[in-house]
Every structure is written in C-alpha cells, then in structure tokens.
A = this chain, B = another copy of it.
Amino acid sequence: MSNFVAVKTGNIKNRKYHTIQDYIRKRIQTGKYPVGSYLPSENEICGQFGTTRTTVRKALDELLKEGFIEKEQGKGSKVLERRKSLGLLTVKGFSGSIDYKVKTVVTKGPKITEWNPVIAFSLTEEEKKSNCVYFQRVRYINDRPVVLENNWYASNELQLIDSDAFIEGSFFKTLSQNHFIEVMGAEQELRSIPASKEVAKNLGIQEGSPILHISVRFRTSKPGLNLYGDLYCNTTDYPIRNSYFL
C-alpha cells in the first residue's frame, strides 16, 4: 500500500481517491469493516496509502455520497447499513423494527428464461440479445404475505445465482458481498390496480382488491447490468415508505 502511485492516464478509475474509495468499499462489502464500526482515521488512511488528507477526504466523501458511511466531527467515519440510506421504496414492516416478524420466501427459484413483456422499461440492445434470469419471491410480515415480487436481469451480465446461495436470503446483499455490485440508482413506476387472480391468490386477498403495483429498474455499479422488478403490494396493513434527505 505504501508504494501506491497514481497513474495519470485519463481513466478516472486510476485516480488515487478512486482507488482508496474502492478499497474501503470492498472492505465494507466483505465485512472487514462491519456495519456500525468506525473506519481508520483520515490520518491513518493517509499513512496506509502514502497520500494527503485531501485525497483521503475526497474518497470518504464519495463513500458518504454512496451511502456507505456517515461522518461525525471528532469521532470518525461510521459504516452504515447501506440499504437504509437509499431513497428506495420499502415496506413499512421491513424497516428492521423489532416488532415485526419478517421473512421472504422464494416461490420460483432463479432460472434462465426469456424476457417477460410485462417489464415496464425498455431493454437495452445488449439486454435484448441475452436471455434473462428470473425468480419470484413473496415477502411476509407477521406471517401475512404482503409483497409478491418478480425479478429479472440479463444472464450474460451476471450468472444465475441459486437462491440457496442468497446471503441471509437477500439477493442484494449477495450482489454486494460476493460480486461487489451495488445499486446506484433506480427508476420506479407506481400504479394502483385491482388484484389479478394470481396476485390475489399469492397475497391471500380477494380478487379485485386495490393493489399497489411497482415496476422498478435498478441501475447498478456494474456497467450493462440492470435489475428489473415487478412488485405487487398489499398495503392494507403496511404502507410502502420512501424517504430521502439532501
């Protein structure tokens, strides 16, 4: 580490602060810097990389922007549970509150298939050339099914991952820890629709009940890889929440 030299080739990936950012992010993703722990101090990181504090601070500010850490003057940089800091729509009962019993059941395990025309976003040309991986999940709160979720992604950008290999049952956590892939953005479309027969059956409600339908495309840190989702939510007892702060 102490022999680190920035290569000035015009490729920003070789920029010093980027390399430091990537190094720290990877250690967070792999649990070397666990959630809740404090990173080494800025001066310590300076020593490790043989660079100035300005450069280290730039790397840390980028990690702050990505939602990996929060900083406090005099105290240090603390690793965050990243998902919580994104402006994603989440089910109220899935907030980590200790009052609810939550679980996710994979009802259709990942398999290679063709793209489903129900996907609300237009595919890239590269995606169209590829088959996709598809899987389905149902999320429960207090043993009640509240979300039926279909997921797709291009199989030529990311291999099929068996749901048995999902870390703590979480697909996103698996991407982060095993593949170093992060969600970097999303587009979402919301509609209120009557529950179809299939949705009603999976969510244990009456056909025709109002259901929140969310179509989503997640942009990831891996170029070319988008994750598509189609969610059907029963919001009777648990609304969908979203928050963001500048």
Q: Is the interface of A mostly helix, strand, loop or mixed?
A: strand
Say how far A3's CB is from chain B's closest CB, in angstroms. 28
Contact indicator A92/B189 (Cβ below 8 Å): yes
Known: A191-B212, A194-B210. A186 touches B243 (CB 8 A): yes
Of B65, B193, B239, the residue contacting A190 (CB under 8 A) is: B239
CA A215 – CA B92 in complex, angstroms?
Answer: 13
Say how far A122's CB is from chain B's closest CB, in angstroms. 14
Chain A interface: which size bin?
20 to 34
State whether the Cβ of A6 lies closer than 8 Å to any Cβ in chain B: no
A-B contact pairs, 17 of them (CB 8 A): A67-B246, A86-B244, A87-B244, A184-B245, A185-B245, A186-B244, A187-B241, A188-B241, A188-B242, A190-B239, A190-B242, A191-B236, A191-B240, A192-B212, A194-B210, A210-B211, A242-B242
